[in-house]
């Protein structure tokens, strides 16, 4: 049976953003991410980092430097009781100074190459997996791979112009994104009778993670958007499928913490936004 994965962008999602970090100590984990990561990992999710690392192509640091950074990151996560299953990175950039890396590739996000490779090598079910990132290139890569996607709002992303760049949800921060995933997975798995997610597992996990997540969150620049009818198209590309779980688009003014049987997924990805390109 294929595994589910939690794909995470690195800079700005798992660790604090920094322009081309090149030393282990440059990677600072966000506070409060441990409980959510542990809960999902204990539920069977593989934890996989998906990261563009154009600093290699630009000559700012080497792949050996990157390896040391990721060894440090894995150790930092282990201190939180979290195991890092894999890291996939793209070293390319068309404007790089290292000739063999100064190319257009199919692994640099927003292309889905790293996720597709991970799915093959780790035997993952992409349709049951999630991708969390802080820019729209992350979201597009996740959507193209068939994952459910969450945008972490760092205040940099504007409403997207392309349908494929709409996330399923928007989160205030990474802990919020992890709570959204736990909530959606509990609803879906309990409806399927998956005993691994049924009470008291859900009760304990939710207590650890804090209050029920806001599934309708929008960034401050979205305050004029009517939440019941998000300002995004009502038709989507055929390769962008509904997640199959209750999503941000609802007919009720406030979402319940447990979903009634008549509250079904709208069939379109919700809570969507957009972004600018990242330096990396």
DSSP 23-36: SGGG--BPTT-HHH
Distances (CA, A) of 56 to 59, 139, 201, 244, 265: 5, 23, 43, 39, 42
- Can you tell me whether residue 93 is helix, strand or coil? coil
- Pairwise CA distance, residues 142 & 123, whole Å: 17
Where do the H-state alpha helices sit in the chain? 34-42, 54-57, 63-78, 113-122, 136-145, 174-191, 201-209
- Pairwise CA distance, residues 193 & 147, whole Å: 22
Q: Is 9 a catalytic residue?
A: yes
Q: Yes or no: say if 14 and 7 are a contact pair by the CB < 8 Å rule.
A: no
DSSP 146: T
Query: Nearest-CA neighbor of 151 among 239, 272, 49?
Result: 272
**Catalytic site residue from 9, 85, 134, 138:** 9
Q: Yes or no: say if 128 and 4 are a contact pair by the CB < 8 Å rule.
A: yes
Encoded tokens for 127: 């349709």
**Catalytic site residue from 11, 134, 137, 138:** 11
Q: Yes or no: say if 181 and 6 are a contact pair by the CB < 8 Å rule.
A: yes
Q: Is 11 a catalytic residue?
A: yes
Q: What are the catalytic residues?
A: 9, 11
């Amino acid at each position: 049976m294929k595994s589910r994965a939690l794909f995470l962008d690195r800079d700005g999602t798992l660790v604090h953003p920094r322009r081309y970090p090149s030393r282990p100590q440059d990677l600072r984990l966000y506070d409060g991410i441990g409980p959510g990561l542990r809960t999902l990992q204990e539920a069977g999710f593989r934890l996989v980092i998906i990261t563009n690392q154009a600093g290699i192509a630009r000559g700012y640091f080497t792949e050996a430097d990157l390896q040391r950074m990721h060894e440090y990151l894995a150790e930092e996560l282990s201190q939180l009781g979290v195991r890092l299953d894999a890291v996939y990175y793209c070293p390319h950039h068309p404007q790089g100074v290292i000739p063999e890396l100064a190319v257009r590739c199919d692994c640099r996000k927003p292309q889905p190459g790293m996720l597709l490779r991970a799915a093959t090598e780790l035997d993952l079910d992409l349709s049951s997996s999630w991708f969390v990132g802080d820019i729209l290139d992350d979201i597009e890569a996740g959507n193209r791979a068939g994952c459910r996607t969450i945008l972490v709002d760092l205040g940099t992303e504007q409403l997207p112009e392309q349908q494929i760049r709409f996330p399923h949800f928007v989160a205030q921060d990474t802990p919020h994104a992890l709570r959204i995933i736990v909530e959606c997975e509990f609803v879906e798995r309990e409806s399927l009778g998956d005993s691994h997610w049924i009470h008291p597992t859900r009760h304990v996990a939710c207590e650890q993670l804090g209050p029920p997540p806001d599934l309708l969150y929008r960034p401050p620049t979205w305050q004029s958007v009517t939440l019941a009818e998000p300002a995004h198209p009502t038709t989507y590309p055929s390769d962008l499928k509904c997640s199959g779980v209750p999503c941000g688009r609802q007919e009720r003014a406030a979402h319940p913490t447990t979903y009634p049987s008549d509250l079904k997924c709208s069939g379109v990805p919700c809570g969507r936004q957009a972004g600018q390109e990242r330096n990396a």
